[in-house]
Amino acid sequence: MTSILLIYTGGTIGMMEDHESGALIPFDFQHLADQVPELKRFDVSLSAEAFDEVVDSSDIKIDHWQRIARLIYRRYDEFDGFVILHGTDTMAYTASALSFMLPNIAKPVVITGSQLPIGMIRTDGKENLISSIQLATLKQQGRAVVQEVAIYFGSELYRGNRTYKYSTEDFEAFKSPNHPKLAAAGIHIFFDQNALYKPSGAFELKDRMDEHVAVLRIVPGLRPEMVKAILEIPDLRGLIIESFGSGNAMTDKWFLDLLREGVKKGLNIVNVTQCDRGFVEQGRYETSHELNKMGVIPGGDMTFEAAYTKLMHVLAYSNDREELARKMVEPLAGEMTSYSTLV
């Protein structure tokens, strides 16, 4: 019998309404199981582990990612697949982080949640949970169909590190703008075999993350003292800049001088676009030419969530700037399209 481990972290799917305040508060896994009696009808061996204190996804931290990754690694041989119940707000961050922490995983890790608590009549949580479990059980020629960290939401399965949450209202809350969906679940489940990830090495645990990373969003009217304040953060090792279009930024001398000084001091700067879809191509326009010259690392078509977690991950395992830059511009877990494929 196929065995699946459910990992309950918290999130809307397991919340209930506080009768005094009306606010949604985290509950426990037993409440969730009581609301989905269909789980007992699965021809699957289901086990469950929950965080000692379930958390709203807005409170997710690096140590939560490490806890999940270590749990999966520790119990990897016991189960055929893993389903993580998680809040939607930071689900794409968690999926991205886990994809780097669990390189070459050959079993499904399906992350899901809901927009409405599972106790509500119109909840989307039941379908998301039931389909996620089914997807985690599917095999082809004795091997798992899904061999990566994925997000299932709104009847579609996505590569986790290619997603972002785009809607607070829709049941189809996630999008994957630069990579096709892995599967669509209707009456039947249809997989895109070409979109599925194929691990190429030995599965291992690499759960270190470097927290010394900051974010700078480029906006019209950005002031020098704001940029300087970020670049002067003690022990800062990495910076994600969110640029315009295909990697463009302002060309003011003060701005370029500040970034150039940061790079000279050893700061690793990664450039991602504010656009949902497309590629960072530094040097394509004059407004990104200087970034290219000074050594800013282009982020390709990574989502912000993937770029942020990848930089923290790579920084934790590399002190060599050339090695770090090389890892940041090539896919580690299917999180980006390789620059080498660009025509």
Q: From CA 73, how far away is CA 314, in angstroms rounded?
A: 20
Q: What are phi and psi for residue 251, nearest 5 degrees?
A: -110, 15
Question: 207 in a domain, yes or no?
Answer: no
Tokens 């790579």 sit on residue: 314
254 and 141, same domain (yes or no): no
Amino acid at 153: F
Average pLDDT value for the chain:
91
Q: Give percent above pLDDT 90 in the chain.
A: 72
16 and 119, same domain (yes or no): yes
26 and 151, same domain (yes or no): yes
CATH number for the domain harbouring residue 105: 3.40.50.1170
Amino acid at 42: F
Instruction: Read off the pLDDT of residues 186-205 as tens digits, 9 standing for 90 and up.
Output: 889 999 999 999 999 999 99
Question: 203 in a domain, yes or no?
Answer: no
- Determine contact, residues 241/308, Cβ cutoff 8 Å: no
165 and 280, same domain (yes or no): no
- Tell how many helices (H) and how many strands (E) occur in the chain: 9, 18
Q: What are phi and psi for residue 77, nearest 5 degrees?
A: -75, -15
Six-digit token pair at 230?
């970020």
Q: Which residue has the higher pLDDT, 307 or 286?
A: 307
Question: 205 in a domain, yes or no?
Answer: no
Q: What is the pLDDT of residue 32?
A: 65
Six-digit token pair at 149?
């960290």
78 and 184, same domain (yes or no): yes
Which among 9, 12, 163, 303 is annotated as catalytic?
A: 12
Instruction: Read off the pLDDT of residues 40-52 as tens digits, 9 standing for 90 and up.
Output: 778 889 888 888 8
Q: From CA 113, how far away is CA 250, in angstroms rounded?
A: 39
Question: 200 in a domain, yes or no?
Answer: no
Domain encompassing residue 59: 3-191
Instruction: Read off the pLDDT of residues 85-108 as tens digits, 9 standing for 90 and up.
Output: 999 999 999 999 999 999 999 999
Q: What is the mean pLDDT of residues 21-45?
A: 71
Instruction: Read off the pLDDT of residues 242-278 as tens digits, 9 standing for 90 and up.
Output: 999 999 999 999 999 999 999 999 999 999 999 999 9
12 classed as catalytic = yes
Instruction: Read off the pLDDT of residues 322-340 as tens digits, 9 standing for 90 and up.
Output: 999 999 999 999 999 987 7
Question: 91 in a domain, yes or no?
Answer: yes
Q: What is the mean pLDDT of residues 10-20?
A: 69
Question: 119 in a domain, yes or no?
Answer: yes
Q: How many domains does the chain have?
A: 2
Q: From CA 141, how far away is CA 331, in angstroms rounded?
A: 27
Q: Among 318, 323, 316, which residue's Cα sits nearest to residue 62?
A: 316
Beta bridge partners of 84: 7, 111
Mean pLDDT lowest for which of 32-41, 84-93, 208-217, 299-308?
A: 32-41
Helix, strand, or coil here: 149? strand
Report the C-alpha dihedral over residues 174, 177, 181, 185, rounded to 10 degrees. Answer: 40
Confidence at 222, pLDDT banded by 50, 70, 90: very high
126 and 258, same domain (yes or no): no
22 and 77, same domain (yes or no): yes
CATH number for the domain harbouring residue 244: 3.40.50.40
Q: What is the mean pLDDT of residues 19-31?
A: 63
Question: 68 in a domain, yes or no?
Answer: yes
Six-digit token pair at 164?
């972002």
Question: 206 in a domain, yes or no?
Answer: no
Helix, strand, or coil here: 124? coil
Q: From CA 7, how far away is CA 235, in angstroms rounded?
A: 34
